[in-house]
Amino acid sequence: MKRTRKKTGLNLVNTAQSYIVASAATRALFGTDLAAFATQGWLLPKTPGQSSADMGAFGAGSSWSISASELVMGMFGQGFSQSGNVAQGWTNDAAGLSNAIKLNLQRNGARSLGTIIAVPIAFTIGKKLTAAPRRDINKFLKFGNLSSVVKV
Q: What is the mean pLDDT of residues 119-131?
A: 96
What pLDDT was estimated at residue 22? 97
Distances (CA, A) of 67 to 26, 49, 74, 119: 9, 10, 11, 24
What pLDDT was estimated at residue 2? 74
Neighbouring CB atoms inside 10 A of 23's CB total: 20
Q: What is the mean pLDDT of residues 112-138?
A: 95
Burial state string for 84-109 with b = 16 or more CB within 10 A and e = fewer than 16: beeeeebbbeeebbebbbebbeebbe
What pLDDT was estimated at residue 73? 83
Q: Which of 25-29, 119-123, 135-139 has the lowest mean pLDDT?
A: 135-139
What pLDDT was estimated at residue 87? 61
Cα dihedral across residues 113, 20, 12, 127: positive or negative:
positive
Q: What is the mean pLDDT of residues 43-60?
A: 62
CA distance 126 to 124: 5
pLDDT more than 70, % of the chain: 77
- As a whole number, the mean pLDDT across the chain is 82
What pLDDT was estimated at residue 148? 79
CA distance 43 to 55: 24
CA distance 59 to 127: 32
Instruction: Give bridge partners of residue 150 from the DSSP assignment.
Output: 10
Residue 113's H or E segment, with its range, is: helix 94-129
pTM of the model: 0.78
What pLDDT was estimated at residue 111? 95
- Residue 50 pLDDT > 60, yes or no? no
pLDDT digits (tens, 9 = 90+) for 63-122: 678 888 888 888 887 766 665 565 655 666 777 788 888 988 999 999 999 999 999 999
Cβ 8 vs Cβ 151: under 8 Å: yes
